Structure 1
Amino acid sequence: MRVPDPSAALAAAASVLQAPIGGMLEPLSQAVSEFLPHQALAMLTGDCARHPMKAYGETVLTEQITSAELARVGGTVEVGRPWFGDAYLAGGLIPALAVASRPAGTSGALLVVVTAGEIEPTAAVRDLMQKLWDLVTLHLPHRAVNLPPADLSGNRLAAGERARAIAELTSAHAATLQALLSTLRSRRLDDAAARRHATDLAVSALIELRAAADLDSSLSEEQAGPAFDRLAGKLAPLTRYGEVSLELAGPRDRGRVLPGDIANAAQALAHNTVVTMLGYKGLTRIRVTWEPSGSELRLEVRDDGPGVLTADALPLRRLTELATAVGGALSLDAVPGWGTTVTAVLPLVPPAPKLQDEALAGLKPRELEVLERLARGLRNRQIAEELMISEHTVKFHVAKILDKLGVGTRTEAAALAHSYA
């Protein structure tokens, strides 16, 4: 293992920071391979709602490493203190170097490097990897907030699909395991040792399922208060030494949970709107209001400037693209001489997909109704209640839908429905 070269370290930092957020591991791998031979890299972060886990390297490893495995490794690593040892990854124990970082205002990120061979990285290599990862994670929130509209839209769809898939998996397996526990705890069974062993297995499986749901929540959600505080930190430098005063009105319910992609989109909208308003002369005050209510997040930015911003202006068109990318809407109220108000309303729940009859022409009207609710993540009982039919009839329709669409699971049918939405 070579001694780290300072110039190589700087080159590594530059190449990673210039890469798109989804492709940062490849240049990182190439840059650090000179002083840290490895087979694969994997990262887990809470600052990217679309793909919280990313991996790069030998496919035999990257295709097998799971976010749950990374989360377990993360539980043994202290922020700022590199760790090396045998980690359970890709279904087995393999030597790996792990570094964790959590700069202020971020959700933190973990990097795991599956090393080549069993040679332990030197203290100098560990320290360099930690400092390099600290630098990378410092820029993750900024890059997540400034995603282009297409990526914001992808974040919204991916986060919703991931949550629905995990919820369905958790519900199905939890019901099965709870029934197993009930059976194994029956007094009619006299094999106490077998019963205890099976009970332990079932309890462990339940814990794993709940951990999966908790992991998804931690990676794809953020409380309204901390999200607004991050926005305030980004806006403060814009007016700190200028003549324009900045007023910030945060959410009354600071504990309200927001989808991570919506929080990022709202921050991007507020920041870009304030920057746009500061480009006009004559204003002395900008007020930013951020309030989640019901199923929507309402963002309002108001100034006392000339009020000449128009709907067809390039800055406003870009703001509109950002809002619509996550299913929201943007409105402008500009009165010459009185100021400008830009209001964005963003949804806090994924919209119900609109199915296109021409794309799913093989389904009957009732089957389309069932599929639409299935795509929203509803269970059979909930679908039956909404359509006022029996649960048995719902099961019949679901079976027909799967057969006609040529898929094997409800999740695949839901994904297909969303692809046509």
Structure 2
Amino acid sequence: MRGEWLACRALALAGCDHDEATVFAAEAEKVATSLESSVLASAARVILAAKRRRDAATDVTTWSAHIIELKCLDVFVLAVRAYPPIFELSLSEDIDSRPAIDALRRASAASLIPLKQFDPEAGADVLQTLSKREREVFELLGHGMTNREIANALYISEVTVKVHVRHILKKLGVRSRTEAALLGATAQPL
């Protein structure tokens, strides 16, 4: 129980007090007797790493994949609430992000993800600029599928998927596949 308390405190402090959060995370890891304590402490540590180092994306992605594999999605949601940039840093085309996106939706936390304002009326026009194949790829992005999964589903190569994703990003005016995936997850069916 003490490990969970320490880990929660570390996670809460990770956004504002690096030194104190580091101390609480280390203490939580020493006394942790449950998976929850360990993953909460790891969330605090990964947030601290993301805030301190520009090259922390690999660490964050590895952490995210581990959390998703453990099905500790409540901790993923807590980490995103504590430090919203963690979401975009945590995803890569090699990770099935559907569970994380679904967890954020269920927790009503999708609004924490930085996403360009999207006017539904204007958005319908923008979505219509996508080719038929781009709309198919966009819809699968909205389900959180990786490039490989999209390629397999549409019987095309991963390279072709990457080209379609680049075109989609440009046409929709978003910076990342994460923003496109969230937009696809919330868009009306095409």
The TM-score, its normalising length taken from structure 1, stands at: 0.22
**Which structure features the higher share of strand residues?**
1
**Which structure features the higher share of helix residues?**
2
Of structures 1 and 2, the one scoring higher in RCO (CA 8 A, sep 6+) is 2
> Quick check: which has more Rg, 1 or 2?
1
